[in-house]
Amino acid sequence: MGMKGAQLDYYPSANEDSRVLFLVLHYTEESWDDSLRLLARDRAAGGGTVSAHYLVRDDPVKVYQLVDENRRAWQAGASYWQGTQNLNSASIGIEIVNPGDKNLATGVRNGQYAPYPAMQLDAVVALVKDIVARHHIKPDRVVGHEDIAPDRRRDPGPFFPWHRLYEAGVIAWPDAAQVGTKTAEFATALPSVEWAQTKLGKYGYLIPVTGKLDEHTRNVISAFQMKYRPAKYDGELDAETAALIDVATTPGGMRMADGKALN
């Protein structure tokens, strides 16, 4: 039975939290005009079938809200993170105007990613901090589209400065000393692909344990590398990558900027 039109008394319960569990970062792969058209207009008006809660323009830098945070934006698509599927219902999405590795003149992806303007990044970091603080989003739930859909997405790409979010106290980072020790250890003998798949599944990715370095496994490893070692994201399980994976999934390995352990 509905309560439309009724006068309701409000007695707030202490047993509640935000419906927003995740924050997902994207780049648009389009110019400003095309980004706005695709994200804000419906198909009948020449737009697309996707949206996001926020759109951060590159020039001039400005933050636009396209969808109310209490409503679902169509930004994550088929996705998975830490046991949750189809993250649209439980996430806020930020789209950043940036072509990624797409040549906007030809529409062809060439693997050459575009950098983000410094002022645009400043705006993104400030927005992320605000959203995370208001919704109490956990550090390991601030993710890129490439994390939750690694077979079809690469955004926000290798030029997105995840380390700045670590410095801002938003996400955790693998402890450098532990990574150094483990890199030396794994330089002698690399762990198996099965080991890496198990660890990456524990970290949050949807990854079957097959023992084979197949295309999906490479895509997952590459997404992980783009975040923590963006200088080389070839999807190969080398010693440094194995060390980062190990430290990221070991209690006490992930640290916040204040030195506190995440896990």
**Topology adopted by domain 173-255:** Muramoyl-pentapeptide Carboxypeptidase; domain 1 (1.10.101)
> What torsion, rounded to 10 degrees, do the Cα atoms 151, 232, 239, 184 define?
-150
Fold assignment, 22-167: Lysozyme-like (3.40.80)
The stretches of 18-110 forming alpha helices (DSSP H) are 32-40
Residue 17: helix, strand or coil by DSSP? coil
CA angle 199, 200, 201 (to 5 degrees): 90
Sign of CA dihedral 107, 113, 119, 124: positive
Amino acid 65: pLDDT: 98
**Local structure of residue 86 (DSSP, 8 states):** S
* Strand ranges for the chain from DSSP E: 22-27, 54-58, 61-65, 80-81, 84-85, 91-96, 142-144, 173-174, 254-255
Beta carbons of 225 and 241 less than 8 angstroms apart: yes
Strands of 117-186, DSSP E? 142-144, 173-174
Delimit the domains of the chain by residue range. Answer: 22-167, 173-255
SS3 label, residue 91: strand
Query: Which tokens sit at 2?
Result: 């509905």
Tokens representing 108 are 């062809």
pLDDT at position 3, please? 57
Give residue 48's pLDDT.
82
Strand partners, 26: 95
Nearest to 74 by CA among 95, 58, 57, 56: 95
Rounded to two decimals, what is the model's pTM?
0.94
Which residues of the chain fall short of a pLDDT of 50? 1
What is the C-alpha to C-alpha distance for residues 52 and 145, in angstroms, rounded to an integer? 12
Q: Left, alpha or beta for 231 (phi > 0: left; psi -120 to 50: alpha)?
A: alpha
Residue 199 to residue 182: CA distance in whole angstroms: 15
- Whether 183 contacts 240, CB under 8 Å: yes
Task: Give catalytic residues, as residue numbers.
Answer: 95
Instruction: Report d(CA 137, CA 40) in Å as an integer.
Output: 26
Tokens standing for 64?
């636009």
Asked if residue 201 lies in contact with residue 80, where contact means CB atoms within 8 angstroms, the answer is: no
